[in-house]
Structure 1
Amino acid sequence: MTTLDCSAYATNLLALAARLPRVPRADLYGFLEAAKKLSDELPAEIGDALDDFNANGSVDGHFVLSGLPVEDDASLPPTPTSTPAPEDRPLLTMEAMLAIFGRRLGLQTGYQELRNGTVLHDIYPSPGAHHLSSETSETLLEFHTEMAYHVLQPNYVMLACSRADHERRAATLVASVRNALPLLPAATRSHLYERPIPCAVDVAFRGGVDDVGTIADVKPLYGPEQDPFLGYDRELLTPREPRDVEAVAALSNALDEITEAVHLTPGDVLIVDNFRTTHARTPFTPRWDGHDRWLHRVYIRTERNGQLSGGERAGDVVAFTPRR
């Protein structure tokens, strides 16, 4: 895991955050445009690290910036219990970090069918949440490449931590295709490469129908043959042909073998390369006391992988088109 300790730059980063609009959702386009300008003023070590990850990724497929400024627990509002966030909620420090770092990477994007089409997400435990939802807590949220079934799948998933869970048990699990590939036999790699596999979609993209079936096709390995991209979802990918079942199982086992656990603590930002990894979250126990685990999430699109065609802005919201 690649980690950069940013604690030496806390004062500088707080000064940048203070120059952002105080109510981000009141004018999200303006807020993210201001973040873009500030992203050019990041300390060189942070800016260069983000640029390098954006250009080259990493073997492990993720990058953690730790030691970032964050409100102490007593100064934070209660952990949310509903979504979306109030439009008049004042800016939180970790939202500022996601805005500035994210604009260094690309364009923050909302998805029309997800979270009411909002761009800045709160991630918190919710009683009775669907097992595929990020709001689950006491069950494992299984491995998934975020929106692998979506034509405009985000290039990066960014998570920032304002509050950890009480026992600090929750871990974000990340498995990279660059680590898993050497464990796959050549015949399995060849079979999975550019092989479309039927895939269902998350609840938000089902149009209110409980089960719309496998309306997308996802290729587990595709793109550069020697350094392929990964499309994997343990719950939704549905191989049917015997050879497909066997090959996807082998890929699944390889991903399990090289999984890394990231325990996010307040002041951490995790950037996941969503085209070369799959990620999950381990169970934890909420207390429903206003101080449960609270992350912030944004999705980032870049010019790579056909995610932008020209003229897009940070803050845009896109509609669902399944991969075929």
Structure 2
Amino acid sequence: MTAPASAVAADPTLIGIDLPDDVRDRLGADLAATPDPTRDIDWSMARYLQIFAQLPTETLQRVLDFGRHPDTPGVGHVRNAPVDEHLPATPRDGNPSPDKKSFVAEGVLLGLSGLIGEPVGFTTEKNGRLVHDVIPVEGGAMTQTNQGSAVFLNFHNDIVHDERGRYDLASPDFLVLSCLRADHEGVAGTYYADARDICRAVDERTLRTLRSPLFRMNAPGSYVRDVAGGAEVLSEPVPMISGPEACPEVSAAANGVHAMNDAARSALDRLQAACREVAHEVFLRPGEALLINNRKGLHARSPFTARYDGQDRWLQRTYVRRNQWDIRYRATPGTRRLH
């Protein structure tokens, strides 16, 4: 699969949020003085809320509105955020760096996350950590996972394996992606295709098929690799698109979607083509973050060359939900992690 040829410009489904230099510097000073958030995540989230409450009212409202209204844009591009003064080598194994001594990047990530919901950790993804280091890993270069680099990461949303058979219900409502280091050539693009644009791009027959329960999602690659021993674990039959016409929700598994008949296979191909036609394209740089609505649209990533030399692309990611009450059955006793 090839990357989208171009980005859609000036569209209401994407917003830009630029921090003034003085705001960036004030946030950076406060975050640099904040300890490792993993020591006491609840205290840290409270502190981040205090820090980010200093944003200009209009900026703060834009971020808050992004998280709370059905009709707001599906992706937000935050620019000119503070960065760590010193950044160690990019880890090669996808785990947190033991050499990272400051936590400005984590503060930006968790501070933005706390404005749109609550970060959550699933034990089958990055061992339940709230902050995910998204880094190319040599053994996963060709995979449809966050370890990949050499192949186009298909349009998808981040889903969670669930024994009830519906992988979309317990999944994050939002993702936040923050850039610590760009790839060597600066060519790794992140794409977002809004469900509203997708629905307008496909014909009525295709849309009816996509709204029918004719598709089975494969579980996330991390679950298949670490729990299922490489075997596919398919969901119950589900539609790809659901919800009212004005506010549709779209679901697609990066690790594969099985169409149940020929019409569904054709509709699935058309869906991926429509995503390429309507996608926004962002080349993340240090000090930039993406707020991604995981229900309003699908995201993807272009291929790039990883060198595994300590200077590879390094993003951090959170999974965010507006409400954890309806997934309380997944709670792990004595921790804030979800199984």
Aligned equivalent of 2:63:
50
Contact kept? 1:302, 1:308, Cα under 8 Å: no
Distance 1:32 1:216 in 2: 36
Distance 1:109 1:49 in 2: 22
Q: Unpaired runs of 5+ in structure 2?
A: 1-13, 161-166
Q: Unpaired runs of 5+ in structure 1?
A: 320-324
Aligned equivalent of 1:144:
156
Query: 1:90-110: per-residue Cα shift (whole Å, max 9, x none)?
Result: 342221111111111110011
Which stretch shows the higher mean deviation, 8-17 or 45-54?
8-17
Does residue 185 in structure 1 map to residue 203 in structure 2?
yes
Aligned equivalent of 2:121:
110
User: Shift in Å at residue 199 of structure 1?
Assistant: 1.4
What is the SS of the residue equivalent to 1:34?
Answer: helix
The equivalences for 1:179-218 within 5 A come to 179-193=197-211, 195-206=213-224, 207-218=227-238
Tell me the amino acid that sits aligned with residue 45 of structure 1: E
Distance 1:169 1:4 in 2: 22
Distance 1:278 1:125 in 2: 21
Query: 1:10-37: per-residue Cα shift (whole Å, max 9, x none)?
Result: 12212331453x1222222332232234
What is the SS of the residue equivalent to 2:138?
Answer: coil
| Among candidates 216, 223, 227, match of residue 243 of structure 2 | 223
Normalising by structure 1, report the TM-score: 0.87
Contact kept? 2:176, 2:318, Cα under 8 Å: yes
Distance 1:224 1:181 in 2: 11
Does residue 280 in structure 1 map to residue 297 in structure 2?
no
Contact kept? 1:218, 1:231, Cα under 8 Å: no
User: Shift in Å at residue 306 of structure 1?
Assistant: 5.5
What is the SS of the residue equivalent to 2:319?
Answer: strand
Contact kept? 2:221, 2:255, Cα under 8 Å: no
User: Shift in Å at residue 317 of structure 1?
Assistant: 1.7
Aligned in 2, Cα 1:202/1:188: closer, same or farther, shift over 3 Å? same
Normalising by structure 2, report the TM-score: 0.83
User: Shift in Å at residue 233 of structure 1?
Assistant: 3.0
Tell me the amino acid that sits aligned with residue 270 of structure 2: A
Contact kept? 2:94, 2:136, Cα under 8 Å: no
Distance 1:77 1:103 in 2: 26
Aligned equivalent of 1:240:
260
Aligned in 2, Cα 1:150/1:190: closer, same or farther, shift over 3 Å? closer
| Among candidates 112, 137, 140, match of residue 101 of structure 1 | 112
Contact kept? 2:32, 2:103, Cα under 8 Å: no
What is the SS of the residue equivalent to 1:292?
Answer: coil
Contact kept? 2:189, 2:282, Cα under 8 Å: yes
Query: 1:277-303: per-residue Cα shift (whole Å, max 9, x none)?
Result: 111111111233322111111110013
Tell me the amino acid that sits aligned with residue 180 of structure 2: S
Contact kept? 2:179, 2:316, Cα under 8 Å: yes
Does residue 71 in structure 1 map to residue 71 in structure 2?
no
User: Shift in Å at residue 256 of structure 1?
Assistant: 1.8
Structure 1 stretches of at least 4 aligned residues deviating more than 4 Å after TM superposition: 57-60, 86-89, 304-309
Distance 1:38 1:235 in 2: 38
Aligned in 2, Cα 1:164/1:88: closer, same or farther, shift over 3 Å? closer
User: Shift in Å at residue 178 of structure 1?
Assistant: 1.2
Aligned in 2, Cα 1:100/1:308: closer, same or farther, shift over 3 Å? farther
Distance 1:304 1:177 in 2: 24
Sequence identity, in percent? 25
Tell me the amino acid that sits aligned with residue 38 of structure 1: I
How many residues in Structure 1 have an aligned counterpart in Structure 2?
Answer: 313
Tell me the amino acid that sits aligned with residue 280 of structure 2: E
Alignment RMSD (CA, Å): 2.7
Which stretch shows the higher mean deviation, 260-269 or 225-234?
225-234
Aligned in 2, Cα 1:209/1:288: closer, same or farther, shift over 3 Å? closer
Aligned equivalent of 1:34:
47
Distance 1:17 1:251 in 2: 41
Query: 1:100-145: per-residue Cα shift (whole Å, max 9, x none)?
Result: 1111111001111111111111111111215122121122122111
